[in-house]
Amino acid sequence: MSTIKVETSPIPGQKPGTSGLRKKTHVFMGPHFLENYVQSIFDGIGGVVGKTLVVGGDGRYFNERAIQVILRMMAANGAARAIVGQSGILSTPAASHLIRKRGTDGGLILSASHNPGGPDEDFGLKYNGPNGGPASEGVTNRIYARTTEITSYMISEAQDIDLGTIGTETLGHMTIEVIDPVTDYAALMEELFDFDAIKALLSSGFSLRFDAMHAVTGPYAKAILEETLGAAPGSVVNGTPLPDFGGGHPDPNPIWAKDLMDLMMSPDAPDFGAASDGDGDRNMIVGKGCYITPSDSLAVLAANAHLAPAYKDGLAGVARSMPTSAAVDRVAEKMGIDVFETPTGWKFFGTLLDAGRATLCGEESAGTGSNHVREKDGLWAVLLWLNVLAETKQSVARLMSDHWARYGRNYYSRHDYEAVDSDMANGLVDSMRARLGDMAGQTAGGLKITGADEFSYTDPVDGSVSKNQGIRIYFEGGGRAVFRLSGTGTEGATIRVYLERLEIDPAGMDRDPQEALGPIIAAAEELSRVRSETGREGPDVIT
Ligand code: G6P
Ligand code: ZN
């Protein structure tokens, strides 16, 4: 093996977003693009000499090619060892677990999460630190700074590594361990949950469908749900990971997981439905005729987690991203535990989990997780739900309605306006920011505004400050509208409008969320003019 130093120059646009760097695949495949970014990661974390990194991805188009490049660059930069999932496959939570279990110096995860894959779609890469979680803002900023000043990268000249065979290979002085991507993760799940109780539930006639959306969770779900827990063969659908996710959009929400939604709303619905995204960290939970919003799922899991062995001693605290509904706050209040409100992005939960201040975390964007890893975890959420259902012996719908009766219902919806011209989107947010100081006391859509601000977060553990994390407007009666620009898109800007209202009247628990939120939706439009400015009749996506 010979090592070469390749001259390069900074490529604009390598600033990581909410979760690593995401770009159109052809951009990532462009000359030096991947190499510049990988070298900047290495430089940004103080080099990789003598280090061990976990490497794997969600199997999307360019996954294996990119891993071959990364391995050659690791070897050339002096890394000691790479732990790689067979065929380059590792779900994001499984990678996080491996980093922790093997005590590595972090890992590189190749994924654009729930974004579509293929030559004309999206690709992504992110670095996770030794705690198994996405790089902190500080590390991310250092990596970005390197991308703007890079002049060369190191790469070795070598044949491709055989990633299809489990075993150990060498590349120069570096050892490459190709491992089964499922084994360690499945063992962790068995430690956390009462598999016997779930087996008993599934053998009692309880039926489920898990839609892996042709993405990474297929092999994990088949091994755990069907082969270990005894779900009927065929319960896992779309279970073979495909480079283009079968042409679909691997995002587990009612729009992109429509087949599952249609089934769950039909007379043939099984007792439980779930789906996960491209890289296996998101989840959607659906009961018979009953969709559970991610915010409600977090609240129900917080209220019932003690029924699973891993959480039997209770929760240290809970954390949610700011735009996530306050449903979990009401549970925390009754339990007398802390609730933390963080900016959007799983990385912000890391310090709280590491410090033992929070046990469960969740986001409105279909993310739920706990201190077992440092990423959100789709299958983990499914298994915790199954464990809770096995213990309570209730249907999903009943568990949810009992929850609302006890804690009240936070009606919630998110409206997305996608591929908006970036200048227009920024202008819209700037205009609201400029008016924030005068809003309190005014009315919009017939609702009185009680407060308005822009969310700024000071991490209670490390003291770091993150500003401009979303515009918040509060209304009389406990309603709220939040506006922020997505940090994960690859085309123009996506404006997200998050709408919420608390209902405590027992007679008002069964309304259509869009109708129950009508006044807040009207007020949000009056204040932002998002529809009139973008010239759209309504949002592109409603979740
Ligand atoms: C990724 C992150 C999440 C985040 C989500 C939405 O999935 O891991 O933590 O909530 O993106 O981010 P966005 O900036 O698009 O709203
Ligand atoms: Zn994801």
Give me the phi and psi of 158, to 5 degrees please.
-160, 165
**Residue minimizing CA distance to atom 13 of ligand 1:** 486
- pTM, rounded to two decimals: 0.94
Q: How many helices (H) and strands (E) does the chain have?
A: 18, 27
CATH no. for residue 197?
A: 3.40.120.10
Number of compact structural domains in the chain: 3
C-beta 488 within 6 A of ligand 1 = yes
Tokens of 423: 């200048």
State the distance from the centre of ligand 2 to the C-alpha of 217, rounded, in angstroms. 11
Distance CA 444, CA 475 (A): 9
Mean pLDDT of 361-373: 97
pLDDT for residue 17 is more than 90: no
**Is residue 363 domain-shared with residue 426, that is, in the same domain?**
no
**CA 31/CA 37 separation, integer angstroms:** 12
Ligand 1 atom showing the smallest separation from residue 487 Cα: 14
What's the confidence (pLDDT) of residue 340?
Answer: 98
> Where in the sequence numbering do the catalytic residues fall?
113
Q: Do 150 and 260 have their domain in common?
A: no
d(CA 207, CA 254) in angstroms, rounded, equals: 20
Give, as one character, the DSSP assignment of residue 228.
I
Which atom of ligand 1 has the smallest separation from the CA of 134?
Answer: 8
Report which of 276, 195, 278 is spatially closest to residue 241, judged by C-alpha positions. Answer: 278
Residue-number span of the structural domain to which 291 is assigned: 185-407
Which atom belonging to ligand 1 lies closest to the Cα atom of 344? 10
**Which candidate, 497, 504, 506, 442, places its Cα nearest to that of 475?**
442
CA distances in angstroms from 101 to 105, 303, 500, listed in the order given: 11, 28, 39
Same domain, yes or no, for 378 and 492? no
User: How high is the pLDDT of residue 476?
Assistant: 92
96 lines ligand 1 (CB under 6 A): no
Strand partners, 414: 498
Separation between Cα atoms, residue 228 and residue 221, nearest integer Å = 10
Residue with CA closest to ligand 1 atom 1: 19
Report pLDDT digits (tens) over 176-214. Answer: 999 999 999 999 999 999 999 999 999 999 999 999 999
Same domain, yes or no, for 448 and 319? no
Q: Is the pLDDT of residue 300 over 80?
A: yes
Q: Which two tokens stand for residue 122?
A: 């999206």
278 lines ligand 1 (CB under 6 A): no
Average pLDDT score over residue span 10-36: 94
**Same domain assignment for residues 176 and 210:** no
Same domain, 257 and 142: no
- Which residue out of 114, 277, 363 has the highest number of ligand 1 atoms within 8 Å of its CB and is therefore the one to mutate? 363
Which pLDDT band, with edges at 50, 70 and 90, does 243 fall under?
very high
Q: What is the ipTM score, two decimals?
A: 0.95
In the prediction, which pLDDT does 240 show?
Answer: 94
Of the candidates 80, 64, 107, 74, which has an alpha carbon nearest to the alpha carbon of residue 3? 74
Same structural domain, 397 and 494: no
- Measured from the alpha carbon of residue 280, the closest ligand is 2
Which residues lie near ion ligand 2 (Cβ < 5 Å)?
113, 277, 279, 281-282
Token representation of residue 126: 């992110």
CA–CA separation, 410 and 429 (whole Å): 25
Task: Report CA(292)–ligand 2 centroid distance (Å).
Answer: 18
Residue type, 380: W
Full DSSP string of 336-360: T-EEEEE-SSGGGGHHHHHTTS-SE
* CATH code of residue 493: 3.30.310.50
User: At residue 355, does pLDDT exceed 80?
Assistant: yes
Q: How confident is the model at residue 477 (pLDDT cuts 50, 70, 90)?
A: confident
pLDDT band at 68 (very low <50, low <70, confident <90, very high): very high
pLDDT tens-digit readout, 134-155: 998 889 999 999 999 999 999 9
Residue with tokens 């069907």: 226
501 in the same domain as 480 = yes
pLDDT value for 282: 97
Asked if 299 and 236 sit in the same domain, the reply is yes
- Last residue within a domain, chosen from 155, 181, 207: 181
Mean pLDDT in the chain?
A: 95
Q: Is 534 in the pocket of ligand 1 (CB under 6 A)?
A: no
Query: Does one domain contain both 22 and 72?
Result: yes
Write the single-letter amino acid at 89.
Answer: I
Q: Which residue's alpha carbon is at the smallest distance from atom 3 of ligand 1?
A: 345
Beta strands in 111-201 (DSSP E): 122-128, 152-157, 167-171, 174-179
- Closest-approaching ligand to the CA atom of 112: 2
β-strands 122-128, 21-24: how paired?
antiparallel
Residue 24 burial (CB < 10 Å; 0-12/13-18/19+)? middle
Are 378 and 481 part of one and the same domain? no
* Closest by Cα among 147, 150, 176 to 68: 176
For residue 251, the ligand closest to its alpha carbon is 2
Residue 478 binned pLDDT confidence (cut-offs 50, 70, 90): confident
From 135, 154, 181, the end of a domain falls on 181
Query: How crowded is residue 102: how many other Cβ atoms within 10 Å of its Cβ?
Result: 15
* Helix (H) or strand (E) segment spanning residue 198: helix 195-203
Whole-number pLDDT of residue 491? 76
446: left (phi over 0), alpha (psi -120 to 50) or beta: left
User: Rounded to an integer, what distance in angstroms lies between the CA atom of residue 209 and that of residue 269?
Assistant: 9
Closest by CA position to 529, among listed 483, 465, 462, 476: 483
Ligand 2 centre distance from Cα of residue 362 (Å): 13
Q: For residues 206 and 283, state if they share a domain.
A: yes
Looking at residue 390, its pLDDT comes to: 98
The domain boundary, picked from 355, 374, 407, lies at 407
Q: Is the CB of 111 under 6 A from ligand 1?
A: no
